Amino acid sequence: MTNDKPLAGIKVVEFGQFIAGPGATQILADLGAEVIKIESFNGDNSRRFGVSERSGYRSGMFMAYNRGKKSVALDLRNAEGVAVARELALGADVVVQNSRVGVMESLGLDAATLRAQKPSLIHASISGFGTRGPSRERPGLDIAAQAESGMMSLTGEPGGAPLKTGFAVVDAATATAAANAILAALFRCARHGEGATIETSLLAVAVGLQAQIWAEYGCSGQLPQRAGNAQPLVAPAADLIQVRDGHIVISAYMEDHWQRLCRAIEQPELGTDPRFATSNDRVANRPAMVAILNEALGGFGGEEARARLEAFGVVCGVVRNYTQVRASADVQATGIFQRVLDGKGGEVDVPALPYSFGDGAAEPGAPTSLPELGQHTLDVLEQAGFSAERRQALLDGKVIAGGGAA
């Protein structure tokens, strides 16, 4: 089958664990790149994340970020294994790694060393806290970045404890940021033949995600406070309203939108009520406003309330669980879900690229598969020019492991 996706012909070598690094290369793979995943004999730790009887002994994390890749199992504690990894890296267009700071340097697989041999190489590194500050050697995971970026300080109920988000938002956003940087570097390389040394961190991305809040802090000098589902500067905005079968959220903080909302709940007089005359007034009197909206809309089902409000041009959303989201005709129409062969004889749907191309390039197609640990070791080495004798010697010396064509 012809690969007509945007990154067809691009080769990526990944030294990745968990989400940020593998997530970045998953985007490149979805766009058509060949991604060679270098793993230890124990494999990416995400292969074992959350694996239990309840999960069917499958890792959702590994499924989400490693479909369609090629797995090469190498012992990087062995000098010969490092030499193999270096050959594969120098044969690639892009190298992506999210190892602890200093690990790649100790192996001679860092950007400076590899790009000295191949200046056109694009080398992307992802760390927890960056490589220049005092925390450069600290282990970094999503939750630490959420905590130390200020994100948790403004997430939660007023007066309550700080909260993390319900998913690894910083890891996922860092994967997207790294992929964006790599795509820009590939564009420059295509135009000018120049490679790139790219660095990003979970901390930098977590701070950057809060750009609006940082700007508001700079304008007011006031520390942002936890406000639950409310938007602290305008109202109603993201306010949670209870309906008969769950909850909806409403955004109607612009004055004309507020007037529409008042008409939608058949209380147009609220449009001139001094308690709610401006957005600032509504922020000051938010509990009374929310109580009125709960009373007015509480008898409706979520979809009924949504239809009524939207008939008046009011923005709202029904709070849905995952089963309801998956059944949504709107979500289905996006085509975002990709079927993945789970290695257990079944299929699982996971989100793929959140955009499409008019010509169909990069859109999900037939189910993709997850690589078994070392499944492609021998095939990849053969394609890289390793002779059958050398491949066998590496197997015999326990430098490599896995299957594929001998």
For 11, 210, 352, the CA distances from 326, given in Å and listed in that order, are: 33, 29, 14
Say what the pLDDT of residue 1 is. 64
User: Which stretches does DSSP call E strand in 244-378?
Assistant: 246-251, 315-318, 337-341, 347-351, 368-369
* Sequence-separated (6 or more) residues with CB below 8 Å from residue 274: 281
Question: Does 236 sit behind a cis peptide bond, omega within 30 degrees of 0 on the bond before it?
Answer: yes
Tokens describing residue 395 = 């197997």
- The widest CA-to-CA distance across the chain, in whole angstroms, is 86
Candidates 195, 187, 179; CA nearest to 92 is 195
State the alpha helices, DSSP H only, in 209-298. Answer: 211-220, 255-264, 279-284, 286-297
- Euclidean distance between the first and final Cα of the chain, in Å? 24
Question: Could you tell me the CA-to-CA distances from 177 to 23, 150, 201 in Å, in that order?
Answer: 10, 19, 10
Short-list 368, 260, 359, CA closest to 314:
260
Cα 149 to Cα 381: distance, rounded to the nearest angstrom: 42
The 3-state DSSP composition of the chain as helix, strand, coil percent (nearest 5) reads: 40, 15, 45
CA-to-CA dists, residue 49 to 18, 55, 65, 205, 256, angstroms: 9, 10, 12, 24, 49
Radius of gyration of the chain (CA): 25
Among all residues, which ones are annotated catalytic? 171
pTM over the 0.85 mark: yes
In angstroms, rounded to a whole number, what is the distance separating the alpha carbons of residues 12 and 27? Answer: 11
Q: Are 134 and 206 spatial neighbours (Cβ–Cβ below 8 Å)?
A: no
DSSP string, 169-218: HHHHHHHHHHHHHHHHHHHHHHHH---EEEEEEHHHHHHHTTHHHHHHHH
Q: Which residue segments constitute the domains of the chain, with CATH numbers given?
A: 11-209+331-401 (3.40.50.10540), 237-319 (3.30.1540.10)
Kindly state the tokens that stand for 150: 């200020």
Its sign, for the CA torsion 278, 280, 286, 288, is negative
Rounded CA separation 359/322 (Å) = 30
Give me the tens of pLDDT residue by residue for the chain, a chain 406 residues long: 678 999 999 999 999 999 999 999 999 999 999 999 999 999 999 999 999 999 989 999 999 999 999 999 999 999 999 999 999 999 999 999 999 999 999 999 999 999 999 999 999 999 999 999 999 999 999 999 999 999 999 999 999 999 999 999 999 999 999 999 999 999 999 999 999 999 999 999 999 999 999 999 999 999 999 999 999 999 999 999 999 999 999 999 999 999 999 999 999 999 999 999 999 999 999 999 999 999 999 999 999 999 999 999 999 999 999 999 999 999 999 999 999 998 888 999 999 999 998 876 666 667 899 999 999 999 999 999 999 999 999 999 999 998 654 3
